[in-house]
Amino acid sequence: MPEDFAARFARPAQGSRSHLTTWFRPTASSRPRCPPPAPAWSGSATKRSAHTTNSTCWTPLNRHNPPWAGLAADPDGQGQEDEEEEEWQPVAGDLARAVLLLVVRAPRAFRGRPAYIRGIPADSMAPVLDDAQRYLAWLGAQGPLATVHPWTAVTAADLAQRIRRRTLAPTRGAGRLLWMCEQMATPAHTHQLVPGMWQAARARGIDSPDWPGTTPPSVCRLHPADYRALLNTRTTGTAITLHPDRAHIRAPRSATLITWNGAATARHTTADGFVEAPYPSPRPDDPSAGRTGAAVFTRGDRTTAGWATACTSAN
């Protein structure tokens, strides 16, 4: 996965009043100095310095070993500038960056409902994770519309489900199976049934919703006809073969296919279940030109080829 996914793509629209407006670290030219604006959650991780003898006006509770230290290795490429500073300074977005990196890299830390997670109070994480889950789910829903790059939609949809069900400690790629469990539980019984469904599936070695058969599990709350309709919305059986100039794709009828060449994307649909889709022409001066691929989207499900396949089944 390209590094620093959240910081690059989880940016709110201009003028948004969401927590997202203070989450993500500003650029070097816009980095707040003495003092930076205090985000709503800053009281739990930082304190106002009683003395301002240098440029450090916000002091971490443990300046030399903050709880999020070591989670990312210079994600903004500002290492040279940071070395010139006398000491580390927290800025708006550090807490959100730490929380999202914890979900991605240490899902077991969220198992159950601990009061503190790697030194960060769980209560201070809640508004960050709630806003992140909604925004990432929205990004994931853009996949069939081709309004964002397919890999963005695939990874965002997976991470949104993992954040939503973080107390189950889901790993990368668990989003599709969690989505299937939620659909079978129905909205009225999601909170009650999804944990048991998830644990039963993982105990049987099931890592995705691509199982055979049409008999619903005993705990499924859907009528048999609705369950069969749900099975038809999966991308199960999709086969993507990438060639130098095009992709051969076999997918469910009426699925949406997206091919790409660098940043350029092209949208296709399946009428008879098979499509021979050419890659779009790359954009001028696109450094990622020549990196091609394809993804398949249905209502709620997705499959892709290449490195992003790691986001389609639980690891």
pTM of the model: 0.72
Residue 265: the pLDDT is: 95
Q: For the residues 285-289, what does the mean pLDDT come to?
A: 93
Closest CA to 153 of 44, 25, 277, 311: 311
Residue 171 contacts by C-beta under 8 Å, 6 or more apart in sequence? 107, 162, 314, 315
Taking only the tens place, the pLDDT of each residue in 147-176 is: 999 999 999 999 999 999 999 999 999 999
The neighbour count for residue 313, using CB atoms within 10 Å, is 18
Span between the terminal Cα atoms of the chain, in Å: 14
Strand stretches in 61-195, DSSP E? 116-117, 120-121
Residue 89: the pLDDT is: 81
Amino acid at 115: A
Band of the pLDDT at 5, cuts 50, 70, 90?
A: very low
Amino acid at 180: M
Q: Enumerate the domain spans of the chain.
A: 1-46+90-141, 239-281+289-311
Taking only the tens place, the pLDDT of each residue in 236-249 is: 999 999 999 999 99
Q: Which of 49-63, 67-81, 208-222 has the least mean pLDDT? A: 49-63
Residue 58 has pLDDT above 70, yes or no: no
Residue 126: the pLDDT is: 93
Task: Check: CB of residue 127 under 8 Å from CB of residue 134.
Answer: no
Residue 130 contacts by C-beta under 8 Å, 6 or more apart in sequence? none
CATH architecture of 239-281+289-311: Sandwich (2.60)
More confident residue, 214 or 273: 214
Taking only the tens place, the pLDDT of each residue in 67-116 is: 444 444 454 555 555 555 567 787 878 888 889 999 999 999 999 889 99
Q: For the residues 59-66, what does the mean pLDDT come to?
A: 40
Query: What's the CA gap between 134 and 127, in Å, rounded?
Result: 11
Taking only the tens place, the pLDDT of each residue in 223-274 is: 999 999 999 999 999 999 999 999 999 999 889 999 999 999 999 988 778 8
Residue 82: the pLDDT is: 53
More confident residue, 200 or 55: 200
Residue 78: the pLDDT is: 52
Average pLDDT, the chain: 79
Residue 54 has pLDDT above 60, yes or no: no
